[in-house]
Amino acid sequence: MLSLELKTIDKSFGAFRALKQVDLQVEKGEFIVMVGPSGCGKSTLLKTIAGLETPDSGEIIINGKDVTHAEPGDRGIAMVFQSYALYPHMSVAENMGFGLKMAKRPKAEIDAAVKRAAGILRLEDQLEKLPRQLSGGQRQRVAIGRAITRSPEVFLFDEPLSNLDAALRTQMRVELSTLHSRLDATMIYVTHDQIEAMTMASRIVVLNSGIIEQVGSPKQLYRNPDNYFVAGFLGAPRMNFFEAKVVGMRPGIAEIEVPAVGRIDIALNADAAPESGMTVAVGVRPESLRLAEGEEGFAAKIHLVEYLGRETIAYADASPLRCIGSETGTGNLTVHLPYVAELAAESTVRLTFDPNDIYLFGGKDRRTWSSAK
């Protein structure tokens, strides 16, 4: 049975339509990460699943039961808030046991559940403390503990790591993943950080302006993004996009002209529909670019070099090849080299890439017409 099913969820705030006909199916034990830019609706969707917001239309089914109009406490969910939302006047033990207390469970049962959760989260020594006496990381674990004791069908996490510093965040990422496999629980996790998404998810849901752009495993989304948005969202540094023109068509193959690079033949996906003369977007990931040997490839002037210990990121101007939608200065290509490269700013190099590493996007929705092989 599906752990969670969302059917055509629609939610508006006044004139603003936050969620547009969202459908989703989650199997038991999955770790679903919902990512998207600010305002895409991911938090709203999470709150709707929790019951803190009511959808204008659509259904929410948890473990086979329609909970669309049920109280949050009756849905079999537990939520970890971004701000942890620990009850400030209750001890750690009381915080974690509150849900069971509201469900009128016997004291022995509550104590046992709290102890078990405290053991899993290494909070045994903090049980009598108040939230204000704890560190950020400890508070977060109490928030998780509060969710665990309720033994919910679905765990909901609302950007739980965003208030932690970088080192703690990395540690907690590992802990949460470990927790997931230990409890074998269904978890729905919202974040804007795509690294968290890529590392933790069994499946990622990419949201954009209230609609789901794509759902799939991290590998699927990274290798085979359905459209321009998903391709540009996952992967850091971001994929390079530039404009090209379709100059010739053969069955299953489009011949495109890329400025500064030349003509390339691209094998098309089944549903691709380019036409000769059309402008399309070409995508090449920064790690697909490499320094060229001799006269192959195309010329690029290095604008800025960033050394990252064991790899290098360079921003290069390869006019007339110009990147679109680039954050790194208009038109600059981003190159990601997996070694320490001795590159000087203002120097000119030659760059190249394997045509098999090209993505093609076109049409009204900028769907992917060709993926890297």
Partner 1 sequence: MSLIWRRHRTWVVPTLFIAPSIILFGVVIVASSLQSVWISFHDWDGFGPMQWIGLGNYEELLGDPQFYVSLKNNLIWLIIFMLAPPLGLAIALLVNQQIRGMRIVKSLFFVPLVLASVAVGIVFTWVYTPQFGLLALAFSAFGQKAPALLSDEHLVTFAIVIAAIWPQIAFCMVLYLAGINSLSEDLIGAGRVDGARGWNMLYHVVLPQLTQVTFIAIAITAIGALRSFDMISVMTQGGPFGSSQVLAYQMYEQSIFSYRFGYGAAIATILFIIMLVFILWYLSRIIRAEEWSN
Per-residue contact track with partner 1, 19 to 48, x per CB under 8 A?
A: ----------------------------x-
d(CA 212, CA 23): 8
Judge whether 141 and 121 are in contact, CB under 8 Å.
yes
The helix/strand/coil state of 298 is: strand
Q: What is the DSSP string of 228-288?
A: HHHHHHSSSSPPEEEEEEEEEEETTEEEEEETTTEEEEEEPPTT----TT-EEEEEE-GGG
d(CA 319, CA 14): 46
Instruction: Determine if 87 is a binding residue for partner 1 (CB under 8 A).
Output: yes
Query: Which lies closer to partner 1 via its Cβ, residue 42 or residue 47?
Result: 47
Instruction: Determine if 125 is a binding residue for partner 1 (CB under 8 A).
Output: no
CB of 190 to partner 1, least distance (A): 14
Tokens coding 69: 């109009």
Judge whether 219 and 247 are in contact, CB under 8 Å.
no
Q: What is the dihedral of CA 105, 110, 113, 114, to 10 degrees?
A: 150
Among 23, 64, 66, 103, binds partner 1 (CB under 8 A): 103
CB of 187 to partner 1, least distance (A): 15
Instruction: Determine if 98 is a binding residue for partner 1 (CB under 8 A).
Output: yes
CB of 324 to partner 1, least distance (A): 39
CB of 286 to partner 1, least distance (A): 38
Q: Which residues in 148-207 contact partner 1 (CB under 8 A)?
A: 150
Among 82, 162, 202, 352, binds partner 1 (CB under 8 A): 82
**Count of residues touching partner 1 (by CB under 8 A):** 25
CB of 102 to partner 1, least distance (A): 4
Residues 133, 135, 141: CA angle, nearest 5 degrees: 105
d(CA 195, CA 191): 9
CB of 47 to partner 1, least distance (A): 8
d(CA 245, CA 66): 50
Tokens coding 146: 């509060």
Query: Which lies closer to partner 1 via its Cβ, residue 141 or residue 150?
Result: 150
Q: Which residues in 47-66 contact partner 1 (CB under 8 A)?
A: 47, 50-52
Query: Which lies closer to partner 1 via its Cβ, residue 43 or residue 240?
Result: 43
Among 99, 160, 225, 235, binds partner 1 (CB under 8 A): 99
Q: Identify residue 268 by its one-letter amino acid code.
A: L
Among 54, 65, 69, 102, binds partner 1 (CB under 8 A): 102
| Segment contacting partner 1 by CB under 8 A, of 21-29, 73-81, 202-210, 348-356 | 73-81
**What backbone torsions phi and psi does residue 180 show, to the nearest 5 degrees?**
-60, -45
The helix/strand/coil state of 322 is: coil
CB of 246 to partner 1, least distance (A): 51
Residue 263 to residues 246, 259, 277, 334, 373: CA-CA distances in angstroms?
9, 9, 14, 21, 19
Query: Which lies closer to partner 1 via its Cβ, residue 127 or residue 156?
Result: 156
CB of 163 to partner 1, least distance (A): 12
How far from the centroid of its chain's Cα atoms is residue 44's Cα? Answer: 16
Binding residues vs partner 1 (CB under 8 A): 47, 50-52, 71-74, 77-79, 81-83, 85-89, 98-99, 102-103, 146, 150
